[in-house]
Every structure is written in C-alpha cells, then in structure tokens.
Amino acid sequence: MNAEFVDFARAKGLPPSSVLVRHILRNAVISTVTIVGLHIGELLGGAVITETVFAVPGVGRLMVDSIFARDYPVIQALTLCLALLVSLTFLATDLLHMALDPRIAR
C-alpha cells in the first residue's frame, strides 16, 4: 500500500477499486499463491484421515483400506499419483507466478 507504484497509480487518477485490484492485489497475491501451492500437499495427506473419519470413499480411504488388505501395488500407485498431483500443483503455482510477475520468467 505504501509502495511508490500505488501513489503513482493514484496520481494517474485511477479509481481506488482499480488501484486495489489491478495494482495492489496482483502483487500481494503472489505469496498467497505460494502458500496455497504448498498446502495442497498437506491437504492431500490430510485427506487420508478426513476420508477415514467421515467414511468418504476417496483416494485416502482407498489407501488405508489397501494397507490393511496388504495390497502393495495399489499403495505404490496411489503414492505415485499423489506425488504427481503435488508436482503438477507446484508447476501450476510456478506458472501462475510467471503470469503474475513477468520478471520471474526473465
């Protein structure tokens, strides 16, 4: 809010809403995107617990069930799939970073 580009945008006579959304939000949301990306992994891990507690027939539930069934290929596949999903999320956040701040793309 105190950065010079905000003063400049205001000095250009832009309405406050435009300054807030186009100039401030765009810069402020970058770190939020990082946090969201990092938390996706935690959420996916947490899903194992949540799905068991609430009996949701999802990936996490399948994982716990296959552990007790000693079904190792399923566990392997699920672990790999979740890792892939997290990698893709990291990729998406990186791409979003580049879209939000072209300086990162260089």
Which one, 24 or 62, has the nearer CB to another protein? 62
Place of tokens 């406050």: 16
Burial (0-12, 13-18, 19+ Cβ within 10 Å), 31:
exposed
Contacts of 79 (CB under 8 A, 6+ apart): 63
Interacting residue with another protein among 3, 53, 98, 104 (CB under 8 A): 53
The yes or no reply on residue 31 touching another protein (CB under 8 A) is no
Query: How many chain residues bind another protein (CB under 8 A)?
Result: 24
Q: Which residues bind another protein (CB under 8 A)?
A: 41-42, 44-46, 48-49, 52-53, 63-64, 66-68, 72, 75-76, 78-79, 82-83, 86-87, 90
